[in-house]
Structures are given as C-alpha cells and as structure tokens.
Structure 1
Amino acid sequence: MSKSGALDLATGLGGKIKKQEVQSAVQQYEKYHVCFGGDEETRKANYADMVNKYYDLATSFYEYGWGESFHFAHRWKGESLRESIKRHEHYLALQLGLKAGMKVLDVGCGIGGPLREIARFSSTSITGLNNNEYQISRGTELNHSLGLSDSCNFVKADFMKMPFADNNYDAIYAIEATCHAPDAVACYKEIYRVLKPGQCFAAYEWCMTDNFDPNNQIHQRIKAEIELGNGLPDIRSTTQCLEALKLAGFEVLSEKDLAADSPVTWYLPLDTSQFSLTSFRLTPIGRFITRTMVKALEFVHLAPAGSERVSSFLEKAAEGLVEGGRMEIFTPMYFFLAQKPVSDS
C-alpha cells in the first residue's frame, strides 16, 4: 500500500539518489530555475536530468501527503478529495471509451495510482511509461501488492523517444505529465506515432490561461514558483497546447478547462485558509507538522541532508499554485480529447 508513515517519508526521500548526494542534487535542481539564476532554455535542454532529480526528491513527499495519485481534480461539493481524484480518472477512461481487451498507454504515470484505478474501472491492460527508476520500483511494488501485475506494467523510457512500434496502442492518456516535455509538438508527435489510426489520446494538461499576462511581474513570479516546485521547463498556454496537438496531426474532438466550472476549487487542498480532516497532511497544521518532522529527521540523520530544502520548495510551489488558481491565470486540468485520423495508416 501507499507509504504513509514518517519513517517511510524519510527512507524514501531522495529516491534512487545516494543519500549522501541528496543535498548536492537539490542544489543542482534549484539552479535550473529562475529563482536561482536558471533559464527556460537550460531547463529544456536538460529536461530529463531536471525531471528525474525532481521526482527522486519529491515522490516521497507526494506519496506521504497525496496518496498514490499525484494530481488535482474537478470536485463537487460534499465530495472528498480522494473521491474526486477517482472520478477524475474515471472521466478520462469514459471519454476514451475504454473497454476490456484494449491496450492502453499511460504517458508519465508516476507510481501508477491512476493506472491501477483506470485498469480496474475499465478492465483494460495498461502500460505506464516513466523515466524515473524510483517511481517505477514503487509502482511495481504496489501493482504486486494489489494483485494487478498481470494487467498493469511499467516501461522505463523518455516520452520524447518511446521504445514502441508505430500504431501500437488502442488508447493513450496523460494526467498532468506531458507538461514536463521540453517541446509539446515533438511530444504529441511521438504519442501520435504509437497510437493506432482512428484511436484517441486524452489528457489533463497544466497550462497558463488567457488571463495570464507575461508582462505582469506578479504573474511571472507565480509561474516561476510553479515551475520550480514542480519540475517544469516551461508552462504553455492553453492556446499553445491546442496548436501543438494540431501541428502533431491530431484532430481535436473536444477541449475544456475543467477548473473553470469546478464547484469546489481545485487548489482547496493546498489553501492555507481552509481546514480538512480528510486531507489533514495538506492543511497548514499538517504541513507545519511535516516540515518540523522532516527537519528533526534530517537532524538525527534518518532523512538525508537537503530534505528540508525539498520540503521548502514544495511548499513554495503550493503557494504559487494557490495564487495562480485564485487569480485564474493557471489551470492543472485543461482537458482535451484528440483523435488520430483513420486515414493515417
């Protein structure tokens, strides 16, 4: 099951990075970002290293505070965060028309929480593509513990260079993952290549909305904080995302920012003005306890040096996400459903 204790957090922190090298990895990761003198072109040129370091450093925190599915969700009043996350995943499966016997690809699958939920919901066989060794090891462990090893598996590879044959999958989806791509068109072209003609690709993308003003310094600061705290080379606009799909060859069947009409704000779990027993570890008190605990674990050498700095930039990211959500300049759930033309065979 998902790691939930303090020692689980401490022992998992750093992923596959040697514990004595975690602090150095944190410093190297930070230097990619604007706040520490980095720039967009360097992040794009070194995206694989940057994203791998990010998930080695952050995965243990994500699993501790968020569970197995590392994403936001459209949420109804009276609905718990966990319920909304499952429904968000089911919605994607229904939009793709997934059914038993289909061969499905999850691009950028994390530790496989959505993959397992969608496989059970749709009775499909799902392969999770991930370039982070630590996340794959955790996902494989969870698949086995839940008896899903036969229907769910992982492949370690870069989604910009997939090791799959052309026209290989019946459906492909990505949940808040392809935002890590340094080039959206090239990423979508690779997804297009491995998808069978006539079949669909659906995703939730992280995007800046039309309200974002690149000349507004506050908007720029918020964008930079989100990039730093989430391992992103850049955050595209919804318009750029849509254009990239079309340039890759897809026919866009539908698209919508699901955050725009969510009855409960998507950033509620990170909002320090709110309190929730069901998401206690994400509340101000819960985050304070986590921060204090990490500091103590680092002090007694149960957590590697640099752990508190990871906690710090993740908290900064949470602040940026909440600000971006309140100002409606950022969305983590720009949804689209796109089809590869039947004629492309």
Structure 2
Amino acid sequence: MSKSGMLDLAAGVGGKIDKSDVLSAVDTYEKYHTCYGGEEQERKSNYTDMVNKYYDLVTSFYEFGWGESFHFAPRWKGESLKESITRHEHFLALQLELKPGHKVLDVGCGIGGPLREISRFSSTSITGLNNNEYQITRAKELNRIAEVDKTCSFVKADFMNMPFPDCTFDAAYAIEATCHAPDVYESYKEIYRVLKPGQCFAAYEWCMTDSYDPSNRDHQKIKAEIELGNGLPEIRFTRQCLEALEKAGFEVLWEKDLTMDSPVPWYLPLDTNHFSLSSFRLTALGRLITRNMIKTLEYIGLAPKGSQRVQGFLEKAAEGLVKGGRTEIFTPLYFFVARKPRST
C-alpha cells in the first residue's frame, strides 16, 4: 500500500537527493521555468535533470495526496476519485485489447499504480520504464507487496532512448508521461520501434486545446503554472500529438479529448471550493493541515529544508490546472489509440 502518513511524506521529500541538498534542488528546478525567468529551450535541453529533480521532490506528495496512480480520469456522478482512476485504467487495457500472455510496455510508469492494476485486470506481463531511481525503488517495493513482482518488472532508462530490441512488445501505453518528452515525435518514434508490427500504442496526453490563445496573458500564466508544477518542458496542442504520431509511422485508429464526456469535471479534486471526505487531503482544509504540518516538520528538522517550497509550487500547479480546466484551454485527458502497420 502507499505510504500514507505525514512522517512518510516528510521523509520522502527529495527522493534520492541528499536531504541537505533538497533546497538547492528546488532552486535549480524552479529556475528552469517561465514563472522564474526560465526558457522552454533550456527545459528541453536539460529535460533529464529537470524531470528527475521534479519527481525526486514531489513523489511523496503525490503518493500522500493521490495514491499510487498519478493521473486524472473522467468521472461519473456518484463515483469516487479512486474508482474513476481504476475504471480509467481498465478502459485503457480494453482499448488495447490486452490478452493473457501479452508482453506490455508502460512508458513512464511512475511508482507503478496503473501497471499493477492493468496487469491484474488483463493477466499480462508489464515492463515499467522510468528514468527516476527513487520512483523505481518505490515501485519495486509496491510490486512485492501486491505480489505482482513475478510478472511485472521495471527498467531504469530514458524513454527517448529505450534499451529494448526492435519489435519487442505486444502493446504499449503512456499515462500522462510522454508530456515530459522534449520532442514528442522522437518519443513516439522510439515506442513505434519497440512495438511488434500490427500492435497498438495508447496514451493519455496533457495538451493545450484549440481554445488556448498564445497572445492572452492569462492563458500564458495558466500554461506556465502547469509547466512549473508538473515538470513539463512545454505543453503541446492536441494536433501536434496527432502530427507526431503520423510522422512516426503510426495509423491513428481513434482520438478524443475525454474531458468532453466527463459528467464530473476532471479537475474537481483540485478545486478548493469542493469538499470530499474520500479525497480530504486534496481539499482546502486538507491542504492547510498538510501545509502547517510540513512547516512544523521542516522547522524541527524531520522534513528537509525546501519541503514547503515544493508544496508551494504544487499548489500553484493545482490552481493552474483548475483554471485551465474551467477555461477549457487545457486537457490532461487527450486519448488516442494508434497502430503500427503490419508491414513496415
């Protein structure tokens, strides 16, 4: 199960970074971003360092507030956040038509929440690819606890340069992960390479919609807040993802922004005007309690210096996500299924 206590959260801040270096890591990470004077090209050029620092800093916060699966989901009325996340993962498995015995790749697997759920649901063997050592350490521990460590494994590597032979996998998916790629075409091309001919790749992408106006300062600010709080080099338009898929050689079977059919707004868990007992830690009161506890734990030395700063940019990201959702200029649920042709 996920680490759920406040002390677990505090101890995990910084991941594999030495606790005395957390504050300087926060400084470095923030300076990559527009909100602090950073530029997009610098984020792309240094994406490995930026994304690794991001996940070292935030993983324990994510696990504390969100659980083991770090992603959004379309949600039905009367459905809890956890239930919607599970259904969302099952939906992906069904769209890929996963079968027992399939060898599947999870591109950017986090701490493996979706991997474990999809593996049990579909009776498949899944390899999780992740370039963050701390997350892989957590993922292996959680696999052992869930008793899926015999069928699911992890490889530490960059998804821009995968250490797998051509035509290795029967299916591949990415859940809100390839948004971290500095070049989405290059990431899709690598996924295409390791897929067997005739097999499919499905993904949920973070994208700006056609409602985004690059000349609108409010829109620019929302985009910058989301990039800062989520370790993104840039946020692409949905059409750019489609163009990159086709350029990489995929046949796009279908694509849709799933936020359009969600009866409950996808950003509701982050909306401070919303109260939920089942997602209490994400509410305004829950965040206030967490903020004060982190402040206290940092003051007495149980949380590393810089922990409050991490929570600060995560809260800024939450504000940006809510505003992005309300204005409909951003979606974390742009979904597609694409197939590698049988003859390549």
Cα offset for 1:201?
A: 0.1
Whole-Å separation in 1 of the counterparts to 2:196 and 2:287: 44
Cα offset for 1:48?
A: 0.4
Aligned to 1:138: 138
Map Cα deviations across residues 218-267 of structure 1 (whole Å, 9 max, x no partner).
00000000000000000000011111100111000000000011000000
Aligned to 2:278: 278
Aligned to 2:314: 314
Whole-Å separation in 1 of the counterparts to 2:63 and 2:169: 29
Aligned to 2:227: 227
Which residue identity is paired with 1:199? Q
Matched, 1:6 2:9: no
Cα offset for 1:68?
A: 0.1
Which residue identity is paired with 2:24? S
Aligned to 2:47: 47
Aligned to 2:84: 84
Matched, 1:25 2:25: yes
Task: Flag structure 1 segments of 5+ consecutive residues without an equivalent.
Answer: none
Which residue identity is paired with 1:91? F
Q: Secondary structure at the match of 1:331?
A: strand
Aligned residue pairs: how many? 344
Whole-Å separation in 2 of the counterparts to 1:169 and 1:286: 42
Matched, 1:246 2:243: no
User: How does 1:107-256 map onto structure 2 within 5 Å?
Assistant: 107-256=107-256
- Calculate percent identity across the aligned residue pairs: 75
Task: Flag structure 2 segments of 5+ consecutive residues without an equivalent.
Answer: none
Q: Secondary structure at the match of 2:236?
A: coil
Aligned to 1:323: 323
Aligned to 1:261: 261
> CA RMSD of the aligned region, Å?
0.4
Matched, 1:342 2:342: yes
Cα offset for 1:99?
A: 1.0
Q: Runs of at least 4 residues of structure 1 off by over 4 A?
A: none
Whole-Å separation in 2 of the counterparts to 1:233 and 1:117: 29
User: How does 1:69-108 map onto structure 2 within 5 Å?
Assistant: 69-108=69-108
Cα offset for 1:143?
A: 0.4
Map Cα deviations across residues 246-290 of structure 1 (whole Å, 9 max, x no partner).
011100000000001100000000001110000000000001111
Cα offset for 1:318?
A: 0.1
Q: Secondary structure at the match of 1:259?
A: helix
Whole-Å separation in 1 of the counterparts to 2:226 and 2:66: 17
Which residue identity is paired with 2:163? P
Whole-Å separation in 2 of the counterparts to 1:59 and 1:73: 19
